[in-house]
Amino acid sequence: MSDQAIIDRIETLTNLLNDYNYQYYVLDEPTVPDIEYDRLMRELTALENEHPALKRADSPSQKVGGEALKAFSQVTHQIPMLSLDNVFDQQEWQAFIKRVKERLKTSTQIAFCAEPKLDGLAVSLRYQDGILVQAATRGDGSVGENITENIRTIKSIPLKLRGDNLPEVLEVRGEVFMPKASFEALNANAVKKGEKVFANPRNAAAGSLRQLDSKITASRNLAFYAYGLGFVGDLDGNDLSEDVLPNSHYQRLTLVKSLGLPMCPEVKLLQNEDECQAFYQSILDARDALPYEIDGTVLKVDSIEQQKSLGFVAKAPRWAMAYKFPAQEELTILEDVEFQVGRTGAITPVARLKPVYVGGVTVSNATLHNQDEINRLGIKIGDTVTIRRAGDVIPQVVNAVVAKRPDNARDIVFPSTCPVCDSAVERPENEAVLRCTGGLFCGAQQKEAIKHFASRKAMDVDGLGDKLVEQLVDEKLIKHAADLYQLTEIQVSTLERMGQKSAQKLIRGLDESKSTTLAKFIYALGIREVGETTASNLAQHFLTFEAIRHASTEQLIEVNDVGSVVAKNIVSFFAQVHNNEVVDALLASGIHWPSIEVKSADEQPLADLTYVLTGTLSQMGRNDAKAHLQSLGAKVSGSVSAKTDYLVAGEKAGSKLTKAQSLGVKVLSEDDLIALLKAHQVL
């Protein structure tokens, strides 16, 4: 064949195979038998292998995956990817409609574009001059991961758009998911090979997309439905959506479909809001018969003009709502009940269940809370029980099917001593919970106390996960939080599955954790019912650790949010010699925080102002910045809302910055902050 003939043949085959894909995946109307498709594909790959330079950007042969990546790079979305707010019943749904109409100042009916809510992962596909050039996960909404190589392997996603007169840039957004049948086949295969099974199709889809080796993704049979558009315009960033797209969301989706992207066949244009409830019901009825997992419906105001005037809050549009399905229930067997000991000694009965797929995940454990709950349920070991799982909520045992109770069913008997340390147990009057009296002599309580101490909102010890804490306690390297700071790299690196690197990381993490705030240190001690807010209030009120340690019940009750129970917990915590020994050892190891110096009321120039800090502050730590702002009377909050007055954005600021900008919150740089602090003579 002449060179030109080869070029022509590659072009013909590429176009033909792409047409067949479109007919098969988008139109759902296969036009040739598989064997013909395979024959043409083999011809194309043979030509491409002989002449790699002639392979086209839209070649369907890329669907088998390519070279493995070392890591995913980051992609900043040109337009943020939003998520959806939820409603769970008709009343909440009606309230949403009412809000929409009030905002639009209209009493006429509103048209909605309606679709099932797929249980998958949102992705953004970027086409330039019709060619797929980039695909990214949602990430935090503003920055996602570059998964282009993996997306290219999804058979129903075109590498080239159909039609001409396309805008230079067209971003399509949609959901990648794994059909139920593929999920079941994948898991059946994993069971056969003794590999880990995925809990649900969503996890399977996510796991398949986050593969550095796109050949694995290619083997997974993922699917895609478009649900909207991102940026549409030219390469200079000019938005042309209003010029080139229809004013209806539904028509935009239909247009996207005509460009070759799959659209869920259940998508419907509803002429008025009264049809929404019926749509919701019809999808709920069809749920089990649909070939993919869904967890509700999505309803979007159809008019783009109305969408624009509604705008969005935080991360979700005001013109769309996920109307979720109710909890799902399944029957299974209660095989046993085990007892777990928590940080404060509370002994919790945990149901061990015959694994059951319910509400989208496989459930094998459920908490039974306490004796009262078990009495209320009237369940025995061996019973058939109803398990309910709603959305992201932890699974619940709803009841026992007494008619199915076997003859050998056993009562659930609470232990008379602690299952971990064998200490006596007690059930204080007026409390539902049984407790181990072993305190920090109980191995379970030691472990939980140390996990809490190291957790992110407490001392935030980098490199110290729950598993490692258990290992360190089991190996008797540590007993109490203070022992952490005596650990050496050599000791740690002798642990199983610990290399020198991880050991170094832990020691460094411990060292870095020593620089903290008084509030975090108080929270980290794990005093019963002293959560983050209470700890922060205590710090603000007493200013020094010693003042808190020696405070009386009366003095403690003065603090915001502290009642007599919490006050008593604090006093009795510091009345125990053992706790004071641990605290003293912690302080001796070098844990420190900036001292809080609160000025008198007339010296609080920032009183009534709320600040939020985000990103990396390179010239001072965030903790220092927070303490300085507080010393001037400012409130420093963790999240941006309409009540935020200023956002201080350091380097690599992410979603908080986006949100602040969308809410019109004033944004300060680190230099602005420093200038402010200097102006008030705190620097």
Give the residue numbers marked as catalytic: 117
Instruction: Select from 453, 476, 475 the least CA-distant residue to 464.
Output: 453
Contacts 24+ apart (CB under 8 A), 477-483: 478/450, 479/440, 479/446, 480/440, 480/446, 480/449, 480/450, 480/582, 480/585, 481/449, 481/450, 481/453, 481/454, 481/524, 481/582, 481/586, 482/582, 482/583, 482/585, 482/586, 482/589
Q: Give CA–CA dist 503/464, Å, rounded.
A: 10
CB of 174 to ligand JCF, least distance (A): 8
Nearer to ligand JCF, 268 or 352 (CB): 268
Percentages (nearest 5) of helix, strand, coil residues in the chain = 40, 20, 40
- What token pair was written down for 252? 């935009």
Does residue 261 belong to the site contacting ligand JCF (CB under 6 A)? no
| Angstrom distance (rounded) from CA 477 to CA 29 | 66
Closest approach, Cβ 251 to ligand JCF, in A, equals 15
Q: From the list 93, 127, 183, 227, which residue makes contact with ligand JCF (rule: CB under 6 A)? A: 227
Q: Which residue of 118, 218, 660, 665 would you call a contact of ligand JCF, by CB under 6 A?
A: 118
**Strand 143-145 and strand 169-177: pairing?**
unpaired
Residue 112: CB minimum distance to ligand JCF, A: 12
Interface segment toward ligand JCF; rule CB under 6 A; list 78-86, 98-106, 267-275, 637-645: 78-86
Beta carbon nearer to ligand JCF, 84 or 449? 84
Q: Is the Cβ of residue 317 or residue 463 nearer to ligand JCF in the bound state?
A: 317
DSSP 515: B
Q: Is 209 in the site for ligand JCF (CB under 6 A)?
A: no
Q: Is 256 in the site for ligand JCF (CB under 6 A)?
A: no
Q: Whole-number minimum distance, CB 383 to ligand JCF, in Å?
A: 36
Residue nearest to ligand JCF (CB): 227
Of the ranges 117-125, 235-243, 459-467, 545-553, which one interacts with ligand JCF (CB under 6 A)?
117-125
The rounded radius of gyration (Å) of the Cα atoms in the chain is 30
Which residue in 95, 73, 78 sits closest to 86, CA to CA? 95
Query: Based on CB atoms, which residue is closest to ligand JCF, 317 or 345?
Result: 317
Nearer CB in complex with ligand JCF: 320/535: 320
Q: Choose which of 47, 75, 82, 267 interacts with ligand JCF (CB under 6 A).
A: 82
Decide if 154 contacts 120 (C-beta within 8 A). no
The smaller minimum CB distance to ligand JCF, of residues 124 and 536, is found at 124
Pairing of strands 328-341, 384-389: antiparallel
* Segment 151 to 180, residues that bind ligand JCF, using CB under 6 A: 175
DSSP secondary structure string for all residues of 584-634: HHHHHTT-B-PPP-PPPGGG-TTTT-EEEEESB-SSS-HHHHHHHHHHTT-
Give min distance, CB of 664 to ligand JCF, in A.
22
- As measured in angstroms, the least distance from the Cβ of 390 to ligand JCF is 17
Question: Which of 17, 320 has the CB closer to ligand JCF?
Answer: 320
- Report the helix count and the strand count for the chain, using DSSP H and E: 26, 24
User: Kind of pairing, strands 635-637 and 610-614?
Assistant: parallel
Beta carbon of residue 100, minimum distance to ligand JCF (angstroms, whole number) = 15
Residue placing its CB nearer to ligand JCF in the complex, 75 or 118: 118
Q: Which is nearer to ligand JCF, 157 or 556 (CB)?
A: 157
Interaction between residue 229 and ligand JCF (CB under 6 A): no
- C-alpha distances (whole Å) from 113 to each of 224, 266, 271, 359, 657 are 18, 11, 9, 26, 31
E-strand spans in 396-511? 396-400, 425-426, 434-436
- CB of 94 vs ligand JCF, minimal distance in Å: 21
- Under the binding rule (CB under 6 A), the answer on residue 125 touching ligand JCF is no
List of residues 6+ apart from 236 with CB closer than 8 A: none
Choose between 123 and 535: whose C-beta lies nearer to ligand JCF: 123
Part of the chain binding ligand JCF (CB under 6 A), chosen from 80-88, 146-154, 438-446, 538-546: 80-88
- Is residue 276 part of the contact set for ligand JCF (CB under 6 A)? no
Q: Which of 47, 75, 84, 640 binds ligand JCF (CB under 6 A)?
A: 84
Q: Which of 626, 468, 466 is nearest to 540 (CA)?
A: 626
What is the three-state SS of 275-320? HHHHHHHHHHHHHHHCCCCEEEEEEEECEHHHHHHHCEECCEECCE
44 binds ligand JCF (CB under 6 A): no
Binders of ligand JCF: how many residues, by CB under 6 A?
A: 13
Task: Return the range that interacts with ligand JCF (CB under 6 A); candidates 3-11, 79-87, 409-417, 615-623.
Answer: 79-87
> Which one of residues 15, 45, 83, 219 is an interface residue with ligand JCF (CB under 6 A)?
83
Choice from 17, 114, 122, 503 touching ligand JCF (CB under 6 A)? 122
Q: Does 117 bind ligand JCF (CB under 6 A)?
A: yes
Residue 582 neighbours by CB under 8 Å, 6+ apart = 440, 480, 481, 482
Q: Is 263 in the site for ligand JCF (CB under 6 A)?
A: no
**C-alpha 549: how far from chain center:** 37
298 binds ligand JCF (CB under 6 A): yes
- SS3 of 131-181: EEEEEEECCCCCEEEECHHHHCCCCCCCCECCCCCCCCEEEEEEEEECCHH
Supply the minimum distance, in Å, between the C-beta of residue 317 and ligand JCF.
6
Give the footprint of ligand JCF on this chain (CB under 6 A).
Answer: 82-84, 115, 117-118, 122, 175, 227-228, 298, 317, 320
